[in-house]
Chain A
Amino acid sequence: MSTLKTQIHDYFAYVDEEQGAVAIATVRERRIGEDPVRPIQPATPQPHRPRRWLIGIAAALVVLLLVGGVAVLVQLVGDGESSPVATTPPVPRTTAVTPQTTVPTTPTTAPRTTVTAPPTTVVEPRASVVAGDASLTWERVEGVPQDASGPFFKTGSGVGTVVRNGPFSHSLWASSDLRSWVESDLPVPTPFFEASMLSTASGRWLIGAGPTELWFSRSGESGPWREVDLSGLVLTVPEGLISHPRIGRPALIGAVTLLPVEHLVSIDWERIFGVPPGTYPVITIHQENEFTDVLVVTGRSASGSIILGRVVPRETTSGLFLIDESTGDELFFYPRGIEGVDQDMSGNLVNGVSSSSLHAITDAGVRELDLFQVARGDQPAVRAVQVVEYGGQVVAIGLGDGGVEAFISSDGVEWQAHPAPPFYGDVIVDEASGFLYSSPISMFSSHWVSADAITWSMLDVAQAGFLRRLTSGWLFLPVDDEGLLTDVGLFLVGEGQSEIAIGDPTGTVVHSAVAVGDATLLIGPGSAWLGELSFQP
């Protein structure tokens, strides 16, 4: 067998041969999308082709004018009395044309020190997909784990979820197409296990099994399962909080020498905040007098509080405290939510600290990013930062003195400011579907999605009391407050937003849902629906 490098070289020689070169002459004659045939002289300005949304708006205006005119005419003729003729005909459901607040798509290149809060701009109504461009077709499917309540997790080949079979028994269900599901046993029959304790990391699954066990499977559904050594893990569950160990992507835990739990008592758990759920839940706490550097591996409960921690003195951190089992190079970024553990030292400095290696989280390997400028004062405001890794880049969104600020980096070292989203709230990478989603803290009924963490779109979800998010080519299916699927969903393509008729499962109570590719599976009590999103040319 050749060396790996030789194999790669040989393989891509074959790929190159099969792929063939692009003929430049054909490129010059090629159409792009709906554009007219490109002229030979590209410098010649071409008249803009009327946009479809303009045509739609114009048509709608004409219809409204006609209807209005008829109504006025009828009213005049009828001497002001209402008439059946004057009834406004139902307006066909068209695309959402509400102007969307958005941010420019081009990141700023100015250094962070010169960043000012970027203005949000109201842009023209977005180009939309007219009804009929995309459609949903549904069929009822059998063999789906009916008790699956989620969350679903992305695996190497599809998605999986955990289903409780009884008080002491759970099983894993996995599927690559949402149609065929394979059940396998979990290795840890424990009454403490909850589906919500299952976390995922770069395609791996980490199973949290109560306060004393943590099981891990790299490949998810196929195992093998390994028990993580938790000896020394300080499981600190502050009073009143729900145990919910979410171990972040890099956090497989090795055996280390730990300080006793007593050292944690001085930590004001309520003051630790800003840890993005399921992403990089690590906080560094300095307490110079007792130990020069300690590390607390944390999770965050649904209520936003730290509930799982461990303390590692610096002298033990030379390659032991965290073991990056699989990826090796995952950018490790965590917000420093608080600096100092006693009241005199505590501030509200919220900075990012990154390292390219888990093994390098020492003074030498950690870099203070100091992205968010927060002045220390006698009455410092509460600050927070969200950090998500998405599409090969890391996006940090936080509150600084200048308001909401955002920075983006591809390597954790070089950062660029870019226009902040016009909101602040939890930014979540949906693990099952892989898009960014946010429900701002302070904005009523607004939901935002992004494909790149730069351009955010506000979903128009006024027609539903609660949005249960899904993606299948950016499909969002709202349910009402009772969990009933409403009749109109939202469909995003490009920068457009359109309504889409949902069809068959309308009115079905939806307990859980997941999407893979263009397929969306809705699971309700006693029934499951598989929807395929299709596009018209």
Chain B
Amino acid sequence: MLSDETIVDSFTEWAEAAESRLRHALTASFGPQVGKEATVDALAHAWEHWERVRAKDNPLGYVYGIGRNKARRLARRRPPVFVDVPAQRLPDVEPGLPAALAGLPEKQRIVVILLHGYEWTMSETAELLGTVKTTVQTHAERGLARLRRDLGVEL
């Protein structure tokens, strides 16, 4: 039986390391607002069931799944909403980028955002999605191609 302090420490250590990745993954799926709320709920769930969660082979993947379920309830089947591009970044960022991202198929969106928005590696993204790197690569290429077409950019 672990002591209270040990449990708190182990959860805190894991959660602090996992928080950004979990939040980024859920943001990629559901947008910043729902993504963050789901992150909080998922972490809270992990804390409540920490003994079970920590025993998982892939706690982050497990909690990500919990977060997705939470997010689905929060989103209530609405498409993700990404905040507008701030004015000071407009010269460099297409104003239509948030809407174009929201319009991507979910897996393309997740992959594109994780790889290029949050600098995840192919392996990390594949592990989260429970797939292989070639599939991630395919989603990324197609997502970017669709974004380029929708935004009318070539680069």
Binding site for B on A (CB under 8 A): 1-12, 14-16, 18-22, 24-28, 30, 32, 35, 38, 40-43, 156, 203, 326-330, 356, 391-392, 410-411, 413-414, 434-435, 451, 473, 494, 517
Contact = CB atoms under 8 A, between A and B. Distances in A.
Interface string B103-138: 101111000110011110000000001110001001
B116 A40 contact: no
Contacts of B149: 326
16 contacts: A1-B91, A4-B148, A7-B94, A7-B97, A8-B113, A11-B97, A14-B85, A15-B32, A16-B118, A22-B19, A22-B23, A26-B40, A27-B47, A41-B7, A326-B146, A411-B135
B144 A4 contact: yes
Overall SS of chain B's interface: helix
Contacts of B143: 329
A156 B104 CA distance: 11
B142 A328 contact: yes
Given A11-B85, A12-B118, A30-B40, A18 B32 contact: yes
A144 to B, nearest CB: 23
B92 interface: yes
Given A1-B92, A12-B113, A32-B44, 14 more contacts: A1-B94, A1-B155, A8-B112, A27-B15, A28-B8, A35-B48, A42-B7, A203-B103, A327-B146, A329-B105, A329-B108, A329-B143, A392-B107, A473-B76
The 10 closest A-B pairs by CB, nearest first: A12-B117, A329-B142, A3-B155, A8-B116, A392-B106, A27-B43, A30-B44, A24-B15, A7-B93, A5-B116
B15 A42 contact: no
A244 B103 CA distance: 29
Contact of A328 (B2, B98, B146): B146
A410 B86 contact: no
Overall SS of chain A's interface: loop
Interface size class of B (residues with CB under 8 A): 35 or more
Contacts of B129: 410
B86 to A, nearest CB: 6
A475 to B, nearest CB: 12
Nearest to B4: A41
A4 B153 contact: yes
Nearest to B147: A4
B16 interface: yes
B73 A494 contact: yes
Interface string B17-42: 00110011001000010011001110
Contacts, number: 149
B22 to A, nearest CB: 8
Nearest to A411: B135
A359 to B, nearest CB: 12
A40 B138 contact: no
Interface of B: 1-2, 4, 7-8, 11-12, 15-16, 19-20, 23-24, 27, 32, 35-36, 39-41, 43-45, 47-51, 72-73, 76-78, 82-83, 85-86, 89, 91-94, 97-98, 101, 103, 105-108, 112-113, 116-119, 129-131, 135, 138-139, 142-149, 151, 153, 155
B40 A11 contact: no
A329 B138 contact: yes
Contacts of A40: 4, 8
A371 B8 CA distance: 46
B48 A38 contact: yes
A9 B7 contact: no
Contacts of A19: 23, 27, 32, 35-36
Contacts of A435: 77
B7 A22 contact: no
A411 B131 contact: yes
B97 A22 contact: no
A413 B2 CA distance: 43
B50 A2 contact: no
Contacts of A1: 91-92, 94, 153, 155
Given A5-B144, A19-B36, A42-B47, A11 B98 contact: yes
B36 A22 contact: yes
Contact of B43 (A24, A434, A473): A24
A451 B72 CA distance: 10
A413 B89 CA distance: 40
B94 to A, nearest CB: 6
A410 B32 contact: no
A226 to B, nearest CB: 15
B73 A410 contact: no
A43 B148 contact: no
A18 to B, nearest CB: 7
Given A12-B117, A28-B47, A21 B107 contact: no
A11 B89 contact: yes
Contacts of B19: 21-22, 24
B107 A410 contact: yes
Contact of B151 (A4, A26, A42, A413): A4
Contacts of A43: 1-2, 7, 50-51
A392 B119 CA distance: 23
Nearest to A389: B105
Nearest to A5: B116
A326 B7 CA distance: 50
Nearest to A39: B48
A472 B9 CA distance: 44
Contacts of B72: 451
